[in-house]
Amino acid sequence: MSNSLKAALLSGLVFPGIGQVVLKRYRRGVVLMLIVLACLLIVVAKAVQQAFSILKQIELAGGTINVDAILNVATQSSTNSDSLLFNSILLLIIVCWILGVVDAYRIGKKRDLEEQSTSQGSNSKGD
């Protein structure tokens, strides 16, 4: 499997930045991983905070848990600023993921071409 395909698949299917690390571009890989990890942690923290808020409001309303009560409380508790922040973070994750795949493929393609030229150079010297 070529370096470009392996790196792109690792960055696309496993986690952004892993393809760069495999291609020994450690700084790029770690930066991508940290950005996506930080964003994912914020998303999870917001989701847990939202869940606790919903459960608290349901408890204050009488404690009966049904789908309608959860939906009503969830729509009331979400605000536009939270939604904008959440959407911005999700967009940043998607952009980092795409950039990770494209960058890993580009670096891998460059390495494939270098390996191909060095192998052709050694083959022509042997003739």
Residue 35: how many CB atoms within 10 A of its CB?
18
Number of domains in the chain: 1
Residue 111 has pLDDT above 80, yes or no: yes
User: Does residue 77 form part of some domain?
Assistant: yes
User: Does residue 100 form part of some domain?
Assistant: yes
User: Does residue 126 form part of some domain?
Assistant: no
Tell me what the pLDDT averaged over the chain comes to. Answer: 86
Torsion of CA 109, 114, 115, 120, to 10 degrees: 130
Q: How far apart are CA 57 and CA 74, in angstroms?
A: 9
| Segments forming the whole domain that contains residue 40 | 3-111
pLDDT at res. 80: 57
> Which of these ranges, 75-79, 98-102, 119-123, has the smallest mean pLDDT?
75-79
User: Does residue 97 form part of some domain?
Assistant: yes
User: Does residue 42 form part of some domain?
Assistant: yes
User: Does residue 122 form part of some domain?
Assistant: no
User: Does residue 121 form part of some domain?
Assistant: no
User: Does residue 119 form part of some domain?
Assistant: no
Residue 41 has pLDDT above 90, yes or no: yes
pTM: 0.77
